[in-house]
């Protein structure tokens, strides 16, 4: 679904997604999954889920990502959970990033929820 800004919005979300993925790879995040949520949610265009090996690694991945977003001119993202570093949420507006410790990621299993088929497309009762 195109953003109200037209093609510029699509370019901005793609640029944000590419910046996020490059930063996560660079900081050695694990099991990186990108989910296209356009048309499924008004929260953003993409959701990215990744893991860090420990509290310290999760915090480092998140801080590296925040710097990369700022350096790319994508503004200041909203951040939740950085102090505990079990689950850090970074919202760029176009891309929502979740960085988890592996056991926390497994517990919440966000990928399964967001990758499930739309109920309108495949209804099972």
Domain boundaries, the chain: 7-115
The CA angle 110-113-116, to the nearest 5 degrees, is: 140
pLDDT at 66 over 60: yes
The CA angle 125-35-88, to the nearest 5 degrees, is: 105
- Model pLDDT for residues 78-120, shown as the tens digit of each residue: 999 999 999 999 999 999 999 999 999 999 998 887 776 655 5
Q: In the β-sheet with 30-36, what is the strand arrangement from edge to edge?
A: 30-36, 46-51, 95-100, 87-91, 78-80
Which CATH code fits 7-115? 3.30.460.10
Query: How is residue 30 annotated by DSSP?
Result: E
- Model pLDDT for residues 13-38, shown as the tens digit of each residue: 899 999 999 999 999 999 999 999 98
């Amino acid at each position: 679904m195109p953003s109200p800004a037209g093609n510029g919005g699509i370019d901005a979300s793609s640029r944000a997604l590419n910046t996020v993925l490059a930063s996560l790879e660079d900081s050695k995040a694990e099991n990186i999954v990108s989910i296209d949520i356009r048309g499924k949610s008004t929260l953003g265009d993409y959701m990215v889920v990744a893991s860090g090996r420990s509290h310290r690694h999760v915090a480092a991945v998140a801080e590296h990502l925040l710097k990369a977003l700022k350096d790319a001119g994508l503004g200041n993202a909203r951040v939740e959970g950085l102090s505990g570093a079990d689950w850090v949420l970074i919202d760029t507006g176009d891309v929502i990033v979740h960085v988890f410790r592996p056991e926390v990621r497994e517990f919440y299993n966000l990928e399964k929820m967001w990758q499930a088929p739309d109920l309108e497309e495949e209804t099972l009762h």
